Amino acid sequence: MTQALYDSSDPADGPADGGPTADGDEETRSVQEELPGGGPAEATADRLWEISAALAAIQHELARQNERAAARERVIDRLHEENLRLRSGEYRSVTRPFVTDLQSLRNDLLRQAATLSDPVTVPTVAELLGSFAYSIELTLERAGVQVLRATAGTPFEPGSHRVARVICTDDPARDGTVAEPLADGYRDVVSDRVLLPASVVVCRRSATPMPVRTPTPSAADGPADPAH
Per residue in 178-211, pLDDT (tens digit) is 999 999 999 999 899 999 999 999 999 875 443 4
Amino acid at 194: V
**Would you list the domain boundaries of the chain?**
23-143, 144-205
Tell me how far the alpha carbon of residue 154 is from its chain's centroid.
43
Name the nearest CA neighbour of 139 among 95, 182, 193: 95
Residue-wise pLDDT tens digits, 88-129: 777 677 777 778 888 888 888 888 888 887 788 888 888 888
Which superfamily is assigned to 144-205 in CATH? Head domain of nucleotide exchange factor GrpE (2.30.22.10)
Q: What are the two backbone dihedrals, phi and then psi, of residue 166, each rounded to the nearest 5 degrees? A: -120, 135
Whole-structure pTM value: 0.48
Confidence of residue 74 (pLDDT cuts 50, 70, 90): confident
